[in-house]
Amino acid sequence: MKNKKILSSVAAIALACSFGISSIACGDENIVGDMKSAYDIPQDYCRTYYEVFVRSFADGDGDGIGDLRGLIDNLDYLNDGNEKTDSDLGINGIWMMPINKASSYHKYDVVDYYDIDDEYGTLEDFKELVEECNKRDIWLQMDLVLNHTSDEHPWFEAALAAARNGEEPDSEDMSKYVFVHESDKPNTGTWHKVQNTDYWYLGNFNNNMPDLNLQNQSVRDEIKDIVDYWLELGIKSFRLDAVPWACANSVSFGADNKEFWTWFNDYCNTKGAEVAAEQGWADDSIDRYCYNVGEVLEMSGIVSTAFYETGMTNFNFSLSTTSDYGYAGVVNGYSSRGGWGLAADVEELQADARDAADSDTALLANVLSNHDQDRISGLLGYNATKIKKTAGLYLLMPGNPYIYYGEEIGAAGSGEDPSKRLPFNWGDKRDGIEEPPGADYSGKQPLGTLKSQRNKSGSVWSYYRDAIKLRNRFPEIGRGTMTAYAIGKNNKLKKQSDFEDDPDEENSKNLKIVVYTLTWGDRQVLIAQNVSGSTVSFNLSSEFKGYKIVGQLKANGGDVLLNSENTLTLSGGGVAVLKK
């Protein structure tokens, strides 16, 4: 099978960047190494991504609608390009929800794949955004909607005209979409009648979003041109919407679906390598240049793991908002297996994904929530300590975390989709963005604004900042192979694979802690997180002799200590990153 590496763990591409960490106290005897010296981090796709709904983020022209100018003007908030400052989040990747010209406010119904929506600005604005992101080492990921278009797209208007003229479904224009005669209409899928004809077309989401025929060669040729266009303009990769619906009348991972996304991903990487060579950052040891991420919104993890076979990554919704055993579920106490179960599940998920991808460097894509889900802060009862614990878990897991804009200040929003996409709460003159059409969220924002949190020690925002910069400091956190640990009867750590029974049967402390190593080349970190509200102590065992605390986080104060006998003590919500 063809090796489907997403990145190489042994190659550093051209430039190197370094990050400081503000969550470490100087002079602490438990801290090893000079905090001012940082690792060289490869310029690959292992990054901390920030999902932006451009319409609701920042308004740059004063018309009440967020735009690219607003995003450009506030890039320093995400990453100011200076590792010595602590006023930015340390973000080095941005996923932009659709920015193409579209019919709706959310823009998942594209009218023109080659242009920026008028509400958001111009192509010149986009080019400036790329330039400013490059200065800060921020890589842009673009939401590309290929499952369907708007019914106002010229392709579909031509297809409708052909249908009304009595042409056949396999005609040049109609075959770009999925049209059938009324007598041939399948029982599966969502079909819409073309008025005054005997034709129906597939539109699984609604009649305003007709599904493209992704097996049509002319459509694929157009997709190649679209990919070329945006990669040449500076996009580094794509987030793909509704991937299970491609080439099917319903959610599927059939042969046609797998073939299409494998074809798409392979083409993106071929073109990406070409662009990288032209731009001077190609490397012979890297054979994947697009970290494409697909939306597989299912909770079992079975289908989403299978999608790694295409060479794409898929969001880890199985551990996101609604999961009892996911990040928030463990912190809320919903999971009967507690912390050790989460560590075991992520280890297994990573192994399964890498096996499916036929690559030992495939990256998970970790989320707490996104634009289709209720905000994580509400699910955690707007409890700042719980929010911070949950953030510590997923930000320090292997793979790439995706932070939904506003999550870092505990933003609220639930109910209908527009109410999950409310304006970012800056708390200063950059406010004034209109709510998305249809938003009816009547709740408050209990945790306040960015302005109220930014300079406040112990705030949700400061915790996110410190966790991200801690993550950025150690490249093995995102890229490393995970091994889950737990506490044995003797109060010492051992690999979970060495337990005969569930770890909590040997030591009840395992319900409270999440412990694992991440190994990348010759580098390894040990991470221990206490998800409970009480103090836990345990011995690291001889395997970790000589390890020292190199980073720590505190969700609610207390201690993060390692004594001379190799006993680690974590107060409730405490996190320790240890390294030899």
Q: Per residue, what are the HEC states of 224-289?
A: HHHHHHHHHHCCCEEEECCHHHCCCCCCCCCHHHHHHHHHHHHHHHHHHHHHHHHHCCCCCCCCCC
pLDDT surpasses 60 at 522? yes
Q: What would the mean pLDDT of 61-70 be, rounded to a whole number?
A: 97
CB 554 within 8 A of CB 532: no
Q: Report d(CA 204, CA 402) in Å as an integer.
A: 27
Does 286 or 352 have the greater pLDDT score?
352
Q: Which two tokens stand for residue 243?
A: 């991937």
Choice among 38-42, 90-94, 201-205, 411-415 with the minimum mean pLDDT = 38-42
Over residues 339-355, the mean pLDDT reads 96
Sheet holding 536-539, edge to edge: 536-539, 567-570, 560-562
Distance, CA of 45 to CA of 344 (rounded, Å)? 25
User: Tens digit of pLDDT for each residue in 9-48?
Assistant: 323 322 233 223 333 333 333 434 333 334 566 678 899 9
Report pLDDT digits (tens) over 297-324: 776 777 788 889 999 999 999 899 878 8
The model's pLDDT over 246-296, given as tens digits with 9 standing for 90+, comes to 998 877 788 999 999 999 999 999 999 999 999 888 877 666 789 999 998
Instruction: Look at residue 218 and tell me whether its pLDDT is greater than 90.
Output: yes
Query: What six digits make up the tokens of 427?
Result: 């708390």
Radius of gyration of the chain (CA): 24
Per-residue pLDDT, averaged over 68-90, amounts to 95
Dihedral sign from CA coordinates of 428, 433, 436, 438: positive
- Find out whether 45 and 7 touch, Cβ atoms under 8 Å: yes
Q: What angle do CA 180, 182, 185 make, to 5 degrees?
A: 60
Indicate left, alpha or beta for 454 from its phi (over 0: left) and psi (-120 to 50: alpha). Answer: alpha
pLDDT at 287: 62
Residue 2 has pLDDT above 80, yes or no: no
Average pLDDT over residues 541-560: 97
Q: Are strands 93-96 and 49-52 parallel, antiparallel or unpaired?
A: parallel
Whole-angstrom Cα distance, residue 265 to residue 26? 46
Q: Which ranges constitute the DSSP H helices of 88-214?
A: 123-135, 154-164
Distances (CA, A) of 241 to 45, 60, 188, 327: 19, 27, 21, 24
Any bridge partners for residue 560, and if so which?
570
Strand 49-52 versus strand 400-404 pairing type: parallel
The pLDDT of residue 477: 97
Q: Confidence band (pLDDT; 50, 70, 90) for 200?
A: very high
Residue partners of 210: CB distance under 8 A and separation at least 6: 148, 149, 151, 156, 159, 177, 178, 192, 201, 202, 203
User: DSSP label at 46?
Assistant: -
How much is the pLDDT for 168?
Answer: 96
% of the chain surpassing 90 pLDDT: 82
CA angle 563/568/569 to nearest 5° reads 100
In the chain the domains, ranked by start, together with CATH numbers, are: 154-202 (no CATH), 479-579 (2.60.40.1180)
**Cβ count within 10 A of residue 231:** 21
Task: State the pLDDT at residue 325.
Answer: 85
What does the alpha-carbon distance between residue 19 and residue 2 come to, in Å, rounded to a whole number?
35
For residues 222 and 235, give the distance between their C-alpha atoms in angstroms, rounded to a whole number.
17
What percent of the chain is modeled with pLDDT above 70? Answer: 92
Single out the residue of 371, 531, 387, 390 nearest to residue 446, CA to CA: 387
Q: Which of 76-90, 147-161, 245-259, 368-382 has the lowest mean pLDDT?
A: 245-259
Query: Which stretches within 358-459 are classed as H helix?
Result: 376-379, 384-395, 450-453
Provide the pLDDT for residue 42.
Answer: 66
3-state secondary structure of 402: strand
- The tokens describing 89, both together, are 């989040």
* H helices, E strands: number in the chain: 16, 22
What's the whole-model pTM score?
Answer: 0.92
Question: What average pLDDT score do residues 136-155 get?
Answer: 97
**For residue 230, is pLDDT > 80?**
yes
